[in-house]
Structure 1
Amino acid sequence: MSNLSSTLAQQVTGCLRRHPAGGRLWLGYSGGLDSTVLLHLLASAGIPFTALHIHHGLSTNADQWLSHCGAVAEALGVPFVAQHVVVERGDGGLEHGARKARYSAFEQYLAPGDQILLAQHREDQVETFLLRLLRGAGVLGLAAMAECRVLGDRGENRTVLRPLLKAGRDELENYAREHGLIWVNDDSNGDVALERNYLRLRVIPGLAARWPIGDRVAQAADNLRETADLLGELAEEDLRRCGERCEAFGHSIDLPTFLAFSAGRRKNLLRNWLARMGAPMPEAAHLHQALRQAQAATDAVPEVALGNLVLRRYRDRLFLTPQLQPLDADEEGEWPWDGASELHLPDGWTLSPGRDWPKGDYTVRLRSGGERAKPRQRHHSQTLKKLLQEFGLVPWLRGRVPLVFREGRLVAVGDLFVTAEGPSEPPQWRFSD
């Protein structure tokens, strides 16, 4: 084995030892130089993995690339999977749309504990750093690509690993030639209308002619990541101080404690809270709006969308919740329930029997307005609107609380209370999407 082959192999195996996967290993295999080299390194080391090829459908050569990747993987005895995706050209442009589609496919295939290896190298890190700098990124953004990061929901322990970040593209080219590897060339790589290509072809060569740009960016990224890690530790401590807790729908923190922090500290906490819950980092304007709404009047119930989550406040708590989709007209009807099995309600909610809940013929429906109820142990009925306030149900769930009837009589309101006609305890009502 040549010195170059040994060096790259040690980089890969060392990275895998630092960040071991709890489940299967996958490789994001495009067929280009970088992923072809990583494919060969993994196969040569006898490391079991599956090659995952994403067919974006953006090039007339996409089908040929798919066939090529399948043939190379088969020749090396590597399991191969391909996934066709649809790239949405939204506000982020083509590059953003392709990346979003690609990572959605990764999340689809990876089970909890799995890890996907990507072949970005030192020059990719330089491009990412400069792109984020030009977009006005903060400390975490300028730390560029991490060697290892969480993919999707943190609770599922899926990770993205980049074992070749310290390697240069020239090293990968030399390795590929040394081993007679064949790779595909993406015809879009020369399109300077794409931001990353413009940096690679027009900007970075001039910088590299005067400064060792790869080494300098790697050092800066390491320093910034160290700072970002410290800010993350501060945010975790602040979340503990704010009494973060898991709610039936999302998470919440103590609002007065949060507002007592400095503006910068509140922003740092919110950024890290969003990241911990798997949300994409919002633009600065949206983050500013969220922080401003957190200080709204005490009787206000603001809602600020932050990616796939919503920041809300109620009483003395600040909430991060999933999005709630408007209920369709056909979702506002009623559902039969046997009282024994799990009943699936709109928007990811389920109703299941509580302790000592008897089987029977029940009807479940949502609020329509004007209902009254008398909780067990009460001497008179009250409007359901007032009872939901009294029992502390957050406003955004009051229109979705299930009302359980038997023989036309109300016997339970969600998991909040039962009436005299109902069992001893309410059923279980939870969000499971």
Structure 2
Amino acid sequence: MNDWIARVGEAVSRRSCNGVRWLGYSGGLDSTVLLHLLCGQGVELRAVHVHHGLSANADAWQAHCAAVAESLGVPFCTRNVQVQSDGSGLEQAARAARYSVFEDLLQSGDQLLLAQHGDDQVETFFLRLLRGAGALGLAAMADARPIGGATVLRPLLGVGRTQLEGYAREHRLTWIDDESNADQSLDRNYLRATVLPLLSERWPLRERVVRASANLREAAELLGDLGEADLISCGRRRERFGESIDLGSLRHLPERRQKNLIRRWLAGCGGDMPEAAHLQQALAQALQAAGDRRMAVALGGMVARRFRERLFLTPPLPAQPERGEWHWGGSGCLQLPGSWELCAGPGWPEGRYRVRFRRGGERAKPVGRSRSQTLKKLLQEAALEPWLRDRVPLVYQGEQLVSVGDLFQCREGLAGSLKWRYGGACE
């Protein structure tokens, strides 16, 4: 037993932590063993418990976790979530709620230790296989991966549940048994209780899955490298809102590489692996030869759009902007709905400004023009993407329109400049 304990400690210590080291502590066997083991090795950490509220025992579990953490001298915190299934199942919805907590909690340089073990890896492999996953999905869980500027570590992936139970008994640990683990209507529980024990009688399942996952991860990394190279060849560039690539270059790639490029692009922007049908639909609409058709295809939590022979990948747009207006003193940044902001650049004069969005029928006379034109035509000339034209901030001083975002100014002699930018995903 000492060999695997030492390996777990080494897996944590060899990855330096420049911030806070957190441990996701559910109170179950796995996280209880990991917490106790690392405390015994002198690893400094904090425990975070996510209260899902799905069980009548959830409050008791939280109290148990707090008591165990206190007995070990570990700082402890709880985050409450509301789990709302979107049709993907309760287990997936609970996982999404947990990761939302983790993403809010973690700062750059932090580490998050999770206690999934080798038997969990086997279950994940078969679940993804039965859902038709590709190479990356079948590579199952990585022992380390980034999450924002932080890192997720899974130091128990080389350890089986039997070994964890032996450790817990030896050290007289107490842990929570979630009653939902007996519910075989859940796919993971059915595999664990019914299918995998039969397979394990004939094959060394954990060892075979570890080997297969490692091979598939290598294949997935090669596909990722190819996708990155193809993104560069397709002129990937940062846009005001999301990113874009050249459609002409994309058309010259074989279809399999087009799909691989999109998957890699999504991953780089923080999106999820897309449904095959959605990916096919996005490519079909994007690659049509006729004109700049309006398209907006949901894809892995992002949106694929097309404009002027470029394919855009953007975050989802929030609801249509409000028709109100905001008062601004012309210094610092004005926060606008939907994670946008308008910032004063060097030399921009302070004053009393009103900021609002388009309401229809506006005209503007950019500096250097002899006459005014409709704002609609001016935004077309400025090549502003159509999905942003109702969201550009119009800056007024008194009744005079003085600037249209950072696209152009409408008053002679106005010093300085503005910056209109988005502060959300893929930026």
Give the TM-score band, short-chain normalised. Answer: over 0.9
The alpha-carbon deviation at position 90 of structure 1 amounts to 2.6
CA distance in 2, matches of 1:68, 1:363: 54
Residue of structure 2 aligned with 1:382, choices 373, 386, 401: 373
The alpha-carbon deviation at position 148 of structure 1 amounts to 1.0
Residue of structure 2 aligned with 1:145, choices 133, 141, 146: 141
Residue of structure 1 aligned with 2:419, choices 401, 409, 428: 428
Residue of structure 1 aligned with 2:113, choices 89, 92, 117: 117
Is 1:171 the counterpart of 2:163? The answer is: yes
Is 1:317 the counterpart of 2:310? The answer is: yes
Checking the alignment, whether the CA contact within 8 Å between 2:47 and 2:76 is kept in structure 1 is yes
1:174-205 residue CA offsets vs partner (Å, 9 max, x unmatched): 11112221212111111111110000000001
Amino acid at match of 2:16: P
Residue of structure 2 aligned with 1:396, choices 381, 387, 393: 387
1:208-246 residue CA offsets vs partner (Å, 9 max, x unmatched): 011111111111000000100111111111122222222
The alpha-carbon deviation at position 425 of structure 1 amounts to 4.7
The alpha-carbon deviation at position 424 of structure 1 amounts to 4.1
The alpha-carbon deviation at position 303 of structure 1 amounts to 0.8
Checking the alignment, whether the CA contact within 8 Å between 2:406 and 2:419 is kept in structure 1 is yes
Partner of 2:274: 282
1:350-382 residue CA offsets vs partner (Å, 9 max, x unmatched): 112233221222222211222222221222322
Residue of structure 2 aligned with 1:227, choices 208, 219, 225: 219
Residue of structure 1 aligned with 2:241, choices 249, 252, 265: 249
Partner of 2:301: 308
Residue of structure 2 aligned with 1:30, choices 26, 29, 51: 26
CA distance in 2, matches of 1:431, 1:267: 27
1:372-393 residue CA offsets vs partner (Å, 9 max, x unmatched): 2222122232222121111111
CA distance in 1, matches of 2:124, 2:71: 33
CA distance in 2, matches of 1:256, 1:18: 46
Secondary structure, aligned partner of 2:338: helix
Partner of 2:70: 74
Checking the alignment, whether the CA contact within 8 Å between 2:292 and 2:306 is kept in structure 1 is no
Residue correspondence of structure 1 range 101-116 to structure 2 within 5 A: 101-116=97-112
Partner of 1:50: 46
Partner of 1:417: 408
Say which is worse superposed, 194-203 or 102-111, in terms of deviation: 102-111
CA distance in 2, matches of 1:364, 1:76: 54
Amino acid at match of 2:3: T
* TM-score normalised by structure 1 residue count: 0.94
Amino acid at match of 1:398: R
CA distance in 1, matches of 2:103, 2:285: 32
Amino acid at match of 2:111: Q
CA distance in 2, matches of 1:99, 1:177: 28
Partner of 1:205: 197
Amino acid at match of 2:95: R
CA distance in 2, matches of 1:197, 1:312: 40
Amino acid at match of 1:10: A
Secondary structure, aligned partner of 1:312: strand
CA distance in 2, matches of 1:90, 1:334: 34
1:244-296 residue CA offsets vs partner (Å, 9 max, x unmatched): 22211111122211221111111111111111111122221111111112113
Residue of structure 2 aligned with 1:189, choices 181, 185, 189: 181
Checking the alignment, whether the CA contact within 8 Å between 2:347 and 2:417 is kept in structure 1 is no
Corresponding residue pairs, total: 423
CA distance in 1, matches of 2:29, 2:319: 47
Across the aligned residues of Structure 1 and Structure 2, the Cα RMSD in angstroms comes to 1.6
Amino acid at match of 2:366: P
Residue of structure 2 aligned with 1:327, choices 309, 320, 338: 320
The alpha-carbon deviation at position 66 of structure 1 amounts to 1.4
CA distance in 2, matches of 1:299, 1:254: 13
Q: 1:282 to 1:364 in 2, by over 3 A?
A: same
Checking the alignment, whether the CA contact within 8 Å between 2:247 and 2:287 is kept in structure 1 is no
Checking the alignment, whether the CA contact within 8 Å between 1:19 and 1:148 is kept in structure 2 is no
CA distance in 2, matches of 1:332, 1:91: 34
Amino acid at match of 1:119: A
Secondary structure, aligned partner of 2:350: coil
Amino acid at match of 1:109: L
CA distance in 1, matches of 2:10, 2:253: 41
CA distance in 1, matches of 2:115, 2:197: 21
Identical aligned residues as a percent: 57
Amino acid at match of 2:282: A
Partner of 1:159: 151
The alpha-carbon deviation at position 43 of structure 1 amounts to 0.2
Partner of 2:358: 367
Checking the alignment, whether the CA contact within 8 Å between 1:414 and 1:426 is kept in structure 2 is no
Amino acid at match of 1:430: R
Checking the alignment, whether the CA contact within 8 Å between 1:412 and 1:422 is kept in structure 2 is no
Say which is worse superposed, 367-376 or 199-208, in terms of deviation: 367-376
Secondary structure, aligned partner of 2:66: helix
CA distance in 2, matches of 1:336, 1:181: 59
Partner of 2:95: 99
Secondary structure, aligned partner of 1:347: coil
Partner of 1:217: 209
CA distance in 2, matches of 1:253, 1:17: 41
The alpha-carbon deviation at position 18 of structure 1 amounts to 4.7
CA distance in 2, matches of 1:85, 1:369: 41
Q: 1:389 to 1:383 in 2, by over 3 A?
A: same
Gaps of 5+ in 2: none
The alpha-carbon deviation at position 20 of structure 1 amounts to 3.0
